[in-house]
Chains A and B, each alone.
Chain A
Amino acid sequence: MNQKKTQQSTRKNKSDNQQNQEQKRREFVQPSEPVLRFLPTAWAKLLYFRDRGQTEIGGFGITKTDDLLYVEDFVTVKQAATGASISFDDEAVADLFDSQVDAGRKPEQFARIWLHSHPGNSPQPSSIDEETFRRVFGNCQWAVMFVLALGGKSYARLRFNVGPGGPLIVPVVVDYTQSFGPSDYEAWEAEYQANIKHTSWSKTFGSQIEPGFEENVSNYSVPDDWLEELEAMEPSERQCILDELADRPDLWSESEVICEY
Chain B
Amino acid sequence: MKILFINNEGGGFADYVNLDGGTTVEKFFSEKMAHGKAEDYLIRVNRQPVSRDYVLHEGDRVTITPTKIEGAE
Contacts and interface: CB of A to CB of B under 8 A. Distances in A.
B71 A112 contact: no
B42 A94 contact: yes
B65 interface: yes
A107 B6 contact: yes
Contact of B72 (A95, A112, A261): A261
Contacts of B13: 107
The CB with the most chain B CB atoms within 10 A, among A126, A136, A137, A141, is that of A136
Contact of A88 (B11, B40, B47, B69): B69
Nearest to A118: B73
Contacts of B68: 87, 90, 132, 135-136, 207
Interface of B is mostly: strand
Contact of A56 (B10, B44, B72): B72
A58 B40 CA distance: 19
B71 A98 contact: no
A116 B65 CA distance: 19
Interface of A is mostly: mixed
B71 A126 contact: yes
Contact of B12 (A94, A98, A107): A107
B39 to A, nearest CB: 11
Contact of A85 (B10, B35, B44, B70): B70
Interface in A107-142: 107-108, 111-112, 114, 116, 118-120, 122, 126, 128-129, 132, 135-137, 139-141
A66 B42 CA distance: 29
B30 interface: no
A97 interface: yes
Contacts of B23: none
A140 B12 contact: yes
B14 interface: yes
B42 A140 contact: no
Interface string A136-178: 1101110000010000000000000000000000000000000
Interface string A204-231: 1101000000000000000000000000
Nearest to A116: B71
A232 interface: no
A136 B73 contact: no
A139 B9 contact: yes
A194 interface: no
B63 A128 contact: no
Interface string B4-33: 001111111110000000000000000000
B12 A108 contact: yes
10 contacts: A90-B65, A90-B67, A93-B66, A98-B61, A132-B69, A135-B68, A136-B66, A139-B9, A139-B36, A205-B70
Interface of A: 56, 58, 84-88, 90-91, 93-95, 97-98, 101, 106-108, 111-112, 114, 116, 118-120, 122, 126, 128-129, 132, 135-137, 139-141, 147, 204-205, 207, 261
